[in-house]
Amino acid sequence: MIVYLNGDYLPLEEARVSVLDRGFIFGDGVYEVIPAYNGHLFRQEAHLQRLENSLKNIKLENPLSREQWIEALESVVAHNNGGDQSIYLQVTRGSAKRNHNFPEQVVPTVFIMSDPIEQQPPSSGVKAITCADTRWQRCDIKSIALLANILLRRQAVEVGAAETILIRDGYVMEGAASNVFVVVDGVAITPPKSQFILSGITRDLILEAMRTAQLSCREANIPEAQLRAADEIWVTSSTREILPVITLDDKPVGLEEPGAVWAKVWQIYQDYKQKLRV
Ligand code: PDD
């Protein structure tokens, strides 16, 4: 695997970062995960805009221009034989003597790597659990400090579930690493954007595609009771696309099989990817 580190392209084994890097010491950095289909970046403008927002929110100047980002991302994909890949990029506040205050005149660390994506058959449905959202109040920042998300996901894995759906003050927020949709009376509903959820690129694409296809959808707060009574539940992300949840806390969701609305939206999503490939 060839990775990008601070302007160089090199084998993964040769990529080295200082132990004083603030990403390592403090989790002081932000990231993005961007799919590429047949070498073409998926929704690159939206991902790079979200990166810009994350950087602004942590008061770190974007070290690369839009053009430089696209060149570096496309080069990593090309160096790794193109095709379908999941690109990970991370920017940290660089390496400096440990101090909670921002270091002066430090150069941010920029790292990009990429993994092949295997074509997935349509999911037959996954289990999910619910947990209280124990994260901080700036979940709109795509921070590399993910300990709470990791512990919350682990709770799901320990009971054979694929995702943990997070509840804050009686309302659904999102998954440990995904956004959440419910379907109620044929209408797909996802929580509105706020500082408590990540503004998912997959989420936005689903809303846009559903509106274009004249399928009912809206952004609205989802009380916990509505989640538990939903006909369908989906979790969405760049890596998992749109996964139908068929049991929640060991209770069936709808007919305990992927729902009819999910099937339509899943197909629209596959068609969108396919168009990008050619
Ligand atoms: N995470 N919410 C959280 C907390 C996430 O971590 C993610 C994705 C999403 C979905 O965002 P998008 O549709 O833009 O991928 C929502 C990535 C995939 C990760 O951490 O690996």
Q: What is the pLDDT of residues 225-244, one digit of tens each?
A: 999 999 999 999 999 999 99
* pTM beyond cutoff 0.95: yes
Q: What is the pLDDT of residue 278?
A: 87
Tell me the per-residue pLDDT of 144-187, one tens digit each, with 9 for 90 and over: 999 999 999 999 999 999 999 999 999 999 999 999 999 999 99
The alpha carbon of 165 and the centre of ligand 1 are apart by a number of angstroms equal to: 13
117 in ligand 1 pocket by Cβ < 6 Å?
A: no
Averaged confidence pLDDT in the chain: 97
Residues taking part in catalysis: 142
For the structural domain made of 2-116, what CATH number should be given?
Answer: 3.30.470.10
For residue 30 and ligand 1, the question of a CB distance below 6 A is answered with no
178 Cβ closer than 6 Å to some ligand 1 atom: yes
Would the CB of 239 count as within 6 Å of ligand 1?
yes
Q: How far, in Å, is the centroid of ligand 1 from the Cα of 200? A: 6
Q: Topology of domain 126-277, per CATH?
A: D-amino Acid Aminotransferase; Chain A, domain 2 (3.20.10)
Instruction: Report domain extents, the chain.
Output: 2-116, 126-277
Cβ within 8 Å of residue 67, ≥6 positions away = none
Q: How far is the CA of 187 from the centre of ligand 1 (A)?
A: 23
Quick one: which atom of ligand 1 is closest to the CA of 239? 18
Report which ligand 1 atom has the smallest distance to the Cα of 50: 14
Pocket of ligand 1 contains residue 191 by CB under 6 Å: no
